[in-house]
Amino acid sequence: MADIKQEITRRRTFAIISHPDAGKTTLTEKFLLYGGAIALAGSVKGKKNARHAVSDWMEIEKQRGISVTSSVMQFQYDGYCINILDTPGHQDFSEDTYRTLMAADSAVMVIDAAKGVEPQTRKLFKVCLLRDIPIFTFINKMDREARSPYDLLDEIENELGIQTYPVNWPIGCGKEFKGVYDRGRKEILAFQAVGDTANGQQEVPIIEADLNDGSLAALIGEGHCQALRDDVELLDGAGYEFDMDAVRHGRLSPVFFGSALTNFGVEPFLKEFLNMTSSPLPRASDKGEIDPFRPEFSAFVFKIQANMNKAHRDRVAFMRICSGKFEKGMEVYHVQGGKKIKLSQPQQLMAQEREIIDEAYAGDIIGVFDPGIFSIGDTLVAPGCKFEYGGIPTFAPEHFNRVTQVDTMKRKQFVKGMTQIAQEGAIQIFQELGGGMEEVIVGVVGTLQFDVLEYRLKNEYGVDIRMEGLPYEYIRWIENTEEDFDPKRLNLTSDTRRIQDLKGRLLLIFANEWSIRWAEEHNPELKLSEFGR
């Protein structure tokens, strides 16, 4: 029992988000480097050295140079056991990011110091806000010309609506980058690019110096010395107070400046971050909050990933353990399936390797072989436990296509491919009320998902499809549960369509907001929702 408590207490599980190219991969790689999980930086993703990225499972990601799906990595550092959840950098996959955030206890947001808040930072950040989790900001690329740190903080506060607290403060940038001042410790970490460390292949040495130390000017220059003393005075006088409670609730973001490429500021950030974040927290279930330290295992599925291994055509369900301990060969109860099952081939990603594991604890993410029984949001518990975690809501799609197969002989593959890709949550599929799979309406949040669908059906299922845009823009789930409720009797505009999703839930799709209002005004009993729950 004692070791379960100890193991869970040392867990930290966080997601990392950024606009593409801000440096998320480089930062992750440096974390792994400090954790000793990889020997040489540049091996997580090397665009130049053409090594495969850990997170690049799908061809399409490589083609487009974006990370479409999210991956999970675990490493050890300073007594902590850390689970990093990578998220897709593209806004078209923000639903995937949302599901990943459901499995995380905090998030790290990486921002390019020259660019500030970018469109996808904004969109992904909004997704973070839906969860109220602590958000830590790493302002990256200080070794290059950067915008004023005041401007950057203002922009984060104004555009993202969160308060900021700079934990450290940069001294210069680009060629003049001298290091950072640690406000808590009242120390300077001086930046020194030495030989090979300039490209971040090794750990960078850090020289510490006091703000009132006479030798400081020699280290960072007289001009920087004065500017820094002024900045620190201003920050201490005019900035937000550090308030841990506000951090815990996602209202105040601790901000760190650094340079992932040169390794500067990465380790101090990691240390502070681990110290400020908490071990796994209790999670809400239909029977109240479940304490992570209770010994009985429980988990929920937040992601399903197909074809991680092309040769085996396997499908892996990723679950976040929320309480207790998982042991290999253990029997668990799958609440939604109503059955006891053995979780087969439990695995974890350790940097580049996938490893079969023997045990895992609350806070960890494990992937198990999925013979097609799991759906996103499913709960698994130790036999005898009777509760389930709240499901993961489905985002309302904003784009709709009618999808048909080109070769009608390949019907079986078409139905299988469409259903599996929808179960993974990569697309949503809808049908006419009582209709079959002859004609399928596919809904997506971002149009890039259509490309993924087309690509995957062709490459994984050997099916060519035809897609035709539909003029709908809004979707609402019907929440009426009355027995005599009949969607055919609804009074709707002629361009509104009644459909159902894979779970048989009723929906309406609308061409414009006016039609939604019409439906609401002419059917007072109708209950509509923007989320599929």
- Residue numbers of the site for ligand G4P (CB under 6 A)? 18, 20-26, 46-48, 89, 140-141, 143-144, 259-261
Q: Is 386 known to sit in a ligand binding site? A: no
Closer Cβ to ligand G4P, 28 or 298, answer by number: 28
For the bound state, the minimum distance from the C-beta of residue 487 to ligand G4P, rounded and expressed in Å, comes to 45
For the bound state, the minimum distance from the C-beta of residue 90 to ligand G4P, rounded and expressed in Å, comes to 10
CA angle 246–250–251, rounded 5-degree value: 55
Q: Is 20 known to sit in a ligand binding site? A: yes
Closer Cβ to ligand G4P, 114 or 502, answer by number: 114
Closer Cβ to ligand G4P, 260 or 508, answer by number: 260
Give the DSSP letter string of 117-176.
S-HHHHHHHHHHHTTT--EEEEEE-TTS----HHHHHHHHHHHH--EEEESEEEE--GGG
For helices 119-129 and 149-160, give the axis angle rounded to 10 degrees: 50
Closer Cβ to ligand G4P, 23 or 532, answer by number: 23
Q: Is 288 known to sit in a ligand binding site? A: no
Half-sphere exposure of 415 (CA within 13 A, CB side): 11
For the bound state, the minimum distance from the C-beta of residue 262 to ligand G4P, rounded and expressed in Å, comes to 6
Closer Cβ to ligand G4P, 21 or 479, answer by number: 21
Beta-bridge partner residues of 315: 306
For the bound state, the minimum distance from the C-beta of residue 104 to ligand G4P, rounded and expressed in Å, comes to 17
Q: Is 24 known to sit in a ligand binding site? A: yes
Cα 163 from Cα 93, distance rounded (Å):
26
Sign of the C-alpha dihedral computed for residues 170, 240, 85 and 110 taken in this order: negative
Cα 477 from Cα 528, distance rounded (Å):
6
Q: Is 21 known to sit in a ligand binding site? A: yes
Q: Is 292 known to sit in a ligand binding site? A: no
Q: Is 100 known to sit in a ligand binding site? A: no
Instruction: Sheet containing 168-171: give its strands across.
Output: 168-171, 179-182, 187-190, 207-210
Closer Cβ to ligand G4P, 53 or 429, answer by number: 53
For the bound state, the minimum distance from the C-beta of residue 141 to ligand G4P, rounded and expressed in Å, comes to 4
Q: Is 224 known to sit in a ligand binding site? A: no
Closer Cβ to ligand G4P, 144 or 399, answer by number: 144
For the bound state, the minimum distance from the C-beta of residue 255 to ligand G4P, rounded and expressed in Å, comes to 15
Compute φ and ψ for 148, nearest 5 degrees: -60, 135
Beta-bridge partner residues of 28: none
CA angle 127–131–135, rounded 5-degree value: 80
Q: Is 170 known to sit in a ligand binding site? A: no
3-state secondary structure of 327: strand
Beta-bridge partner residues of 320: 300, 365
For the bound state, the minimum distance from the C-beta of residue 65 to ligand G4P, rounded and expressed in Å, comes to 8
Cα 494 from Cα 480, distance rounded (Å):
21
For the annotated binding site, the residues are: 18-25, 86-90, 140-143
For the annotated binding site for GTP, the residues are: 18-25, 86-90, 140-143
